[in-house]
Structure formats: structure tokens, C-alpha cells
DNA sequence: GGGCAGGATGTAAGCGCTTACAGGCAGCCG
DNA sequence: CGGCTGCCTGTAAGCGCTTACATCCTGCCC
């Protein structure tokens, strides 16, 4: 790196002023063709690339969007892959939308324990997307004082902040209705998530709503619950069966627990879907590979990221637009664990 | 956002000069305690966060590292998940190392078709990690003219550029040796990857080397090959079996194809590992969930990212250090598809 | 041929920081 | 009590761009 050339070198090389160089790059139409080409040639010859900081300082914009997502505690852990995948997919969607608008994406991984990150990162961006519960309410508030913020899939969004979330409740409602209406399921049970998870709570609510719609009694709390992990799901299901219970269908609050439940059911000699129907939530990659392939509710992860980015860009453009809350649809993905024969999918929910 | 406060407001608020504010933040020890606290209080009250561009322009550093990785063609495709996961994990490792050094990570997703990306992004970074074959040789060259570059897991690295790669060849050699020595495997076959993949080629070479060491004849080309996908692996294996061949063991160039091969074997009524042994490469999440769990070679993805970041930081610090090429070890992950009874893992390879 | 319009380019003032250097002041020595 | 040391803080010069405004030309019109 022989010291990156600046706009001054290019100007000298092309025999013009630095203003002209800037124009050749940013508003080519303002220049006479011959001048423009001369400048562009100099740019190419020198391998000139404008300094991001200088550009940013002069325009008052960084042209960068930040994403705050949670870190995994121990860099070596293999569990929690799903959380990661979720964030990766959101990132993908976000980057896609950002790029359309000429923005790049900067990563700000939040410490899982403190639920915060170096705020100085925010100074490098024009706005940030905060994913799920990656930062604390207090950090969120401080952050929002400095740059526009959009919360994605997060609970408890403070007044006045844009956010996008997923129709969790409608998702489980749809899959439950499918079980009820299309398979005449009886003796349903719900395998819930951790008590402090708002997602788990909404999913349970959707389940209850579907039962109510069908005129069935709905329980006040999940019949069994675990911590969203495969192992937890297996243990919970084992204990449930050990009590002598024999559900006709198990609606699970996520796929990993459903996979665990499948294992426990198999251990107990129960056939899915012949003896029991099982459904999940998320549509992780594994869902289609277990046996039988898992009927589940697909989360629109990429769309979540893309939508968050769009809301953010909109607010950057005009800080005064009224804040918006969006809810994205899930999609029912029918495979065999619900008793269906062939793959198929039905859309669900609302905006 | 009531217009983000600048260092001037903070200075006024605290009754000091802007230089003192800057010092309070960057070199706290240079100030009298009382002054420092006064400034810090003003900073907190105003919610001041320094402007990234201004800081960058003044220091001549962006404190940002870039990662160039390949885009997926169609945002809707679900295939190719593995490639994605690979990049995500590398990113994770890179971010981890970058953060240690006070750097953030910016994403520069390269267009899959043109194998390039907006070079202006490079102007926002102090250096870039280029992943695998995400950018063309020409773009790489132009990029390297502007900022320090480290290539991770990429082939054909130009002279003078740092790079990190994975000991592909040693990986397959180890797993092949395991088959040969610990299981007395006979009639081995190699399921290779696409012809233009250097990784696939190295993996095949490792296989041959292990055969040679064992005094067995080694084929000049893979016995069967596919495109690294599950479907491809299944098709290739089917065709192979349809020809009446009955391998005693199949070493696959990646996990996805191994999973496909497993399926084809099952269709043909062959039991793994009783009739045939099968191994993969990568250790994707799925590997432990297929039946039987797949013995494979784990790639150090995070480490790849972390090491690349470290090489980059080193070069940013001192552009004149001699370029370095590093090779990371893989690890043999023994599960049941090779005929072993219990899980276990053995390290392999060299720096 | 003078004057004027309008397009192309140059001039120069910032953008918000960092940091070398200058300046001020307290304490201490002789 | 003058002057010197050193510590602390302020002054001001950039860092590399963008852009409003000034300037210069060319071409035309009357």
C-alpha cells in the first residue's frame, strides 16, 4: 500500500481542481464529457477510492447501518445454533435491503450478559437495527437518543420507536387449526418455552385462541414446557409420558423442542403421526430432515431484516415520520408429522 | 433525535475546550481528575457519542475491518445453506478477534456473478478479509492496492498477500487412515466435489495420500462425483450402485453429499455401517442428526475468521511485515457412520 | 462589437474530531 | 522574590471530502 491516493493526487494527475474530481464521481452529468473522462482515467490509474470518513464527515452521513445482535456466551458452544441462524438470516435480509439503498451494514454484537455494546459504534452508523432482546431497555434508550433505531422481533418496544415483529400467535393458531380441522386431532397438548420469553407466550396464546375458536377448552398454561432446546424438549416429553399421559397431538413452541419430543415419543414406542401428531415452530433446516419430517410454522427471518432496514432508512430520510409497528406473517409448512401425506404450504396471518 | 450533540456542545456544557473533551475520552490520564469528571458528566448528560467519520478522518483510521463474502444468487433459495453457514461462522470468528482489538466489522457482500463489490466500501475500512472465491482475481488486485487484504480459505492467492487456509488434504487423509487402520476398510471409493473446486481437489489428494501410505493403489480421479449438494450426492451414489458396484467405504468430499449418499445407500437396502462405511467433511449441524450419525472432518470456521482478522490487524499495524500463509488444522469427528460405537474426536494435521 | 445568459470549473468554507505546540500557573529552588 | 520546572489546558492546524458561490468562457443577440 504505497499510501492511498487522495482526491488531491487525482486532481493533480488529471489537471483539474479537487471539486471537479468530486463531481466526476458524484454528479457525472455536471461535467463536460471530456473532463469527466480525463478524471475517471486518473481515478482508475491511481486506483483511487474515496476516504469513507472524509466523505462521511462532509456529507453528514456514514452510509452505514448497524445491526445489534446478541453474542453467544462462550465462543466454543455449539448449542444455541438456532438463535445464531436466526440472527444470520436477519442480517442477510437487512444487508440486502441496505445495499439497495447504497448502504453497508456494520455489526455490533452485544454482550449477552450485559446486553450492551460499545455505543461508539453507533457513531459510525446512520441508524441501528436492534435484534430481539440483544440490548437492555436502558441501552436501547441511550442508543435511540443518538441515532434512529428500529427494533426487530423485540418485545417491549418503547413508545415512539419503529419496530417489526412476527405474528407468533397467528402462527400457532394456524397450525393448531390445521391439526383440529384437517386431522380431527384430539387430546392436544402444548409444549411451551421458557417463562420469560415473550415469543413463547405469544405462541401459546395463538394455540389457546385456536382452541377457543374450535369451541374446545383451553388450558391456562402449557401442558408441558422446556427451554427451547432439543434436550429440554426430550426431557419434558419423557416426564409427561412417564406420568401416563397419552396426547393425541403436541404443538411445540419451537422446532428444536419438537425434535426432542419426537425422540422421546419414539423411545416410548409411539409412532408419529400414527399415534401422535407433532408440530414445531421456526422451520429450521433440521425440520425437514427428522423422521417424520416436521410440520411447522416458518418465520420470515430475511424479511424481518429487510423490513427493519427499510423502516430505518425511511426514518433516516425523514426523522419526523410517525413511528410504525409492523407485523410479519408466518407461513404454515406442512410436512408429515401432522399426519399429512405430502409437502405443501399455506400462508397464514396478516400484515 | 434532537440533532446529535458534537464535541463543541459538550465542551461548552462542561466549561472546557474541545481538546479537553477529546482527552477526557481518549487519554483520561492526561487530565486532572476533577476536570475529567466534569467532562464525563457532560458527556453522559448530553448522550454524546463521537462522530465516527470525524474521528476516523482525524486519526487516519476507520477502526473498521471489512469482510467480503459471496452473496447467494437468489434471495429466496434455500439450498446452499452450508456455504452460508460457513461464511457466517467465519464472520463470527472475525468479529470476535476484531472486537478484541477495538475494531468493528463491516459487511461487503460480493455479487456472486461478477465476483466483485462496490470498492468504495473498502474506503470505509482499514483492511479487508476476502473469503474464499468471493471476488475475482482482478478485483482482489485492485482492492489490495487500496487497503491491506487477507484471503481466507481462498485459492490462488497472489504473491505478497497474507492468507489463511484449511488443511483440507490432511483432513481427508486422517479420516481415510481411520477407515483403513481402525476399521480395516476395503474397496474404498471417493465421492468428489465439482471439478473447479480447489477444496474438493485437495480433499481428494488427501484421500490418495492416505491410500498411498497404506500401500494401496490410489485412483487418478474420484470414483464418483457431484456438486457438493445433498441431491447431487444421492444421484451420484445411486448411479454408482446401479452400475452394480458395492463399495466397502465411501469417503465424501463434504457432508451434504455424504447425507445424500446415505439416503441412496438406504434405498438400495445397504446398511451403514454394517455393509458400507461413510464419512463426510465439514461437520455441519445436520451431520450429527442423520442416521447413523456421520463421522466427518470438522473445519475450524471460527478460527479461520479470527486468524484472518489477526493477520489483517498485524498488517494494518505494520504494512511492512513479511506476508504470511497459515494453514489451520481440521479435526476428525468420529461418530457411527464409520463403524465406531461411540462419539469421540481426534485432532489431526499441522499449523 | 458590446453585453448578457448560461454552462463549466475553480475557490474556499466548512464537516467534527485529534494532537503538536503554546501558554498559564503553581510550586520550588537559590 | 525572581525564575525555572512541570503539569494542565487551550489554540489552531490539519485530516479528505462536498458544495455554495464566485469566476471565467463561449456563444448569441441586438
Residue range B53-89, pLDDT digits in tens:
999 999 999 999 999 999 765 544 444 556 667 899 9
Confidence band for B350, pLDDT divided at 50, 70 and 90: very low
Confidence band for A86, pLDDT divided at 50, 70 and 90: confident
CB atoms B81 and A285 under 8 Å: yes
Q: Which of B143, B98, B88 is nearest to B116 (CA)?
A: B143
pLDDT at site B181: 97
Q: Is the pLDDT of residue B113 over 90?
A: no
Q: Distance between CA B154 and CA A95 in Å, rounded?
A: 23
Cβ of B39 near strand C (distance < 7 A):
no
pLDDT at site A120: 96
Q: Distance between CA A206 and CA B13 in Å, rounded?
A: 52
Mean pLDDT of chain A, nearest integer: 92
Q: Is the pLDDT of residue B221 over 70?
A: yes
**What does the angle CA B336 – CA B340 – CA B346 come to, to the nearest 5 degrees?**
95
Residues 50..69 of A with a Cβ closer than 8 Å to B: which?
Answer: 50-57, 62-64
Mean pLDDT (whole number) for A224-251: 95
Contacts of A137 (CB under 8 A, 6+ apart): A156, A158
A242-269, pLDDT tens digit by residue? 999 999 999 999 999 999 999 999 999 9
Q: A73 and chain B: CB distance < 8 Å anywhere? A: no
Mean pLDDT (whole number) for B291-312: 96
Distances (CA, A) of B81 to B75, B76, B85, B133: 12, 11, 6, 17
Cβ atoms within 10 A of the Cβ of A71, count? 21
Q: B92 and chain A: CB distance < 8 Å anywhere? A: yes
Separation in Å, CA of A213 to nearest CA in chain B? 34
Mean pLDDT (whole number) for B143-168: 94
Q: Of residues A176 and B82, which shows the higher confidence score?
A: A176
Q: Distance between CA B230 and CA B233 in Å, rounded?
A: 5
pLDDT at site A284: 86
CB atoms A289 and B289 under 8 Å: yes
Q: If phi over 0 gives left and psi between -120 and 50 gives alpha, with beta otherwise, what is residue A47?
A: left
Mean pLDDT (whole number) for B32-42: 95
Mean pLDDT (whole number) for A205-222: 97
Q: Which of A230, A218, A167, A231 is nearest to A189 (CA)?
A: A218
Between the CA of A50 and the C1' of D21, what is the distance in angstroms? Answer: 24
C1' of nucleotide D16: residue with nearest CA: A54
Between the CA of A236 and the C1' of D19, what is the distance in angstroms? Answer: 66
Please answer whether residues A223 and A191 qualify as being in contact, where contact means their C-beta atoms are separated by less than 8 angstroms.
Answer: yes
Separation in Å, CA of A320 to nearest CA in chain B? 9
Q: Is the pLDDT of residue B344 over 70?
A: no
Instruction: State the pTM of this model.
Output: 0.91
Between the CA of A62 and the C1' of D27, what is the distance in angstroms? Answer: 43
Question: Lowest-confidence range among A316-330, A335-349, B139-153?
Answer: A335-349
pLDDT at site A26: 95
Q: Which of A121, A157, A291 is nearest to B62 (CA)?
A: A121
Q: Is the pLDDT of residue B345 over 50?
A: no
Q: Which nucleotide is nearest to A58 (CA to C1')?
A: C15
pLDDT at site A149: 97
A95-150, pLDDT tens digit by residue? 999 999 999 999 999 988 889 999 999 999 999 999 998 999 999 999 999 999 99
pLDDT at site B346: 47
pLDDT at site B71: 79
Question: Lowest-confidence range among A217-221, B286-290, B340-344?
Answer: B340-344
Q: Is the pLDDT of residue A75 over 70?
A: no
Q: B73 and chain A: CB distance < 8 Å anywhere? A: no
CB atoms B106 and A105 under 8 Å: yes
Phi, psi of B191 (to 5 degrees): -100, 100
Cβ of B23 near strand C (distance < 7 A):
yes
CB atoms A49 and B119 under 8 Å: yes
Confidence band for B174, pLDDT divided at 50, 70 and 90: very high
Q: Which of A200, A294, A225, A303 is nearest to A255 (CA)?
A: A294
Label residues B76-113 b or e (16+ Cβ within 10 Å = b).
eeeebbbebbbbbbbbbbbbbbbbeeebbbbbbbbeee
Q: Is the pLDDT of residue B347 over 50?
A: no
- What cell does B25 get? 475520552
Q: How close are the terminal C-alpha atoms of chain B, in Å?
A: 51
Separation in Å, CA of A4 to nearest CA in chain B? 6
pLDDT at site A350: 33
CB atoms A4 and B85 under 8 Å: no
Please report the beta strands in chain B, taking only residues with DSSP state E, as ranges in sequence order: 64-70, 104-110, 128-131, 149-152, 162-166, 188-192, 224-225, 249-252, 277-279, 296-298, 325-328, 331-334, 344-347
Torsion angle of the four alpha carbons A263, A267, A271, A273, in this order, in degrees rounded to the nearest 10: -20
Q: Is the pLDDT of residue A349 over 60?
A: no
pLDDT at site A157: 87
Q: Distance between CA A151 and CA A157 in Å, rounded?
A: 7
A287-341, pLDDT tens digit by residue? 888 889 999 999 999 999 999 999 999 999 999 999 999 999 999 999 999 999 8
**Residues of B whose CB is below 8 A from A260:** none
Place of cell 423442542: A257
Q: Of residues B286 and B336, which shows the higher confidence score?
A: B336
pLDDT at site B268: 96
Between the CA of B44 and the C1' of C18, what is the distance in angstroms? Answer: 21
Residues 217..276 of A with a Cβ closer than 8 Å to B: which?
Answer: 259
> Quick check: helix, strand or coil at residue A260?
helix
Q: Is the pLDDT of residue A2 over 80?
A: no
Among candidates A1, A88, A289 on the partner chain, residue whose Cβ is nearest the Cβ of B88: A88
Interface-testing mutation among B52, B148, B293, B294, with chain A (most A C-beta atoms within 10 A): B52
Between the CA of A58 and the C1' of C19, what is the distance in angstroms? Answer: 21
Q: Distance between CA A306 and CA A99 in Å, rounded?
A: 10
Q: Which of B155, B144, B348 is nearest to A49 (CA)?
A: B144
Between the CA of B53 and the C1' of C14, what is the distance in angstroms? Answer: 15
If you write DSSP's letter for every residue of B283-318 in order, what string do you get?
--GGGGTSSSPPBEEE--HHHHHHHHHHHHHHHHH-
Residues 278..297 of A with a Cβ closer than 8 Å to B: which?
Answer: 285-286, 289-291
CA A170 to chain centre: 17
pLDDT at site A341: 84
Q: Is the pLDDT of residue A345 over 50?
A: no
Distances (CA, A) of A39 to A43, A49, A53, A326: 6, 13, 22, 46
Q: Distance between CA A106 and CA A128 in Å, rounded?
A: 9
Q: Is the pLDDT of residue B12 over 70?
A: yes
**What does the angle CA B87 – CA B166 – CA A81 come to, to the nearest 5 degrees?**
40
Amino acid at each position: 500500500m504505497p499510501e492511498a491516493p487522495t482526491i488531491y493526487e487525482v486532481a493533480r494527475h488529471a489537471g483539474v481542481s479537487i471539486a471537479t474530481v468530486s463531481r466526476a464521481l458524484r454528479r457525472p452529468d455536471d461535467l463536460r464529457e471530456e473532463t469527466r473522462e480525463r478524471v475517471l482515467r486518473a481515478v482508475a490509474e491511481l486506483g483511487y477510492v474515496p476516504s469513507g470518513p472524509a466523505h462521511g464527515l462532509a456529507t453528514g452521513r456514514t452510509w452505514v447501518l448497524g445491526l445489534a445482535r446478541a453474542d453467544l456466551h462462550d465462543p466454543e458452544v455449539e448449542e444455541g445454533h438456532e438463535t445464531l441462524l436466526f440472527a444470520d438470516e436477519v442480517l442477510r435480509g437487512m444487508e440486502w435491503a441496505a445495499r439497495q439503498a447504497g448502504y453497508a451494514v456494520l455489526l455490533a454484537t452485544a454482550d449477552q450478559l450485559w446486553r450492551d455494546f460499545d455505543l461508539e459504534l453507533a457513531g459510525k452508523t446512520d441508524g441501528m437495527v436492534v435484534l430481539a432482546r440483544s440490548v437492555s431497555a436502558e441501552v436501547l434508550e441511550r442508543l435511540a437518543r443518538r441515532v434512529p433505531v428500529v427494533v426487530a422481533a423485540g418485545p417491549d418496544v418503547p413508545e415512539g420507536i419503529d419496530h417489526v415483529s412476527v405474528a407468533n400467535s397467528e402462527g400457532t393458531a394456524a397450525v393448531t387449526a390445521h391439526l383440529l380441522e384437517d386431522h380431527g386431532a384430539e387430546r392436544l397438548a402444548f409444549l411451551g418455552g421458557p417463562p420469560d420469553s415473550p415469543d413463547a407466550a405469544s405462541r401459546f396464546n395463538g394455540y389457546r385462541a385456536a382452541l377457543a375458536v374450535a369451541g374446545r377448552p383451553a388450558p391456562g398454561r402449557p401442558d408441558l414446557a422446556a427451554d427451547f432446546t432439543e434436550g429440554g424438549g426430550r426431557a419434558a416429553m419423557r416426564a409427561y409420558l412417564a406420568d401416563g399421559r397419552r396426547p393425541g397431538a403436541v404443538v411445540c413452541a419451537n422446532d428444536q423442542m419438537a425434535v426432542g419430543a419426537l425422540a422421546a415419543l419414539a423411545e416410548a414406542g409411539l409412532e408419529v403421526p400414527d399415534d401422535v401428531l407433532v408440530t414445531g415452530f421456526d422451520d429450521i433446516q433440521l425440520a425437514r430432515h427428522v423422521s417424520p419430517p416436521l410440520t411447522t410454522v416458518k418465520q420470515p427471518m430475511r424479511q424481518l431484516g429487510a423490513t427493519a432496514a427499510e423502516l430505518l432508512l425511511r426514518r433516516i430520510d425523514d426523522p419526523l415520520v410517525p413511528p410504525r409497528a409492523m407485523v410479519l406473517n408466518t407461513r404454515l409448512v406442512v410436512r408429515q408429522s401432522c399426519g399429512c401425506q405430502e409437502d405443501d404450504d399455506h400462508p397464514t396471518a396478516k400484515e
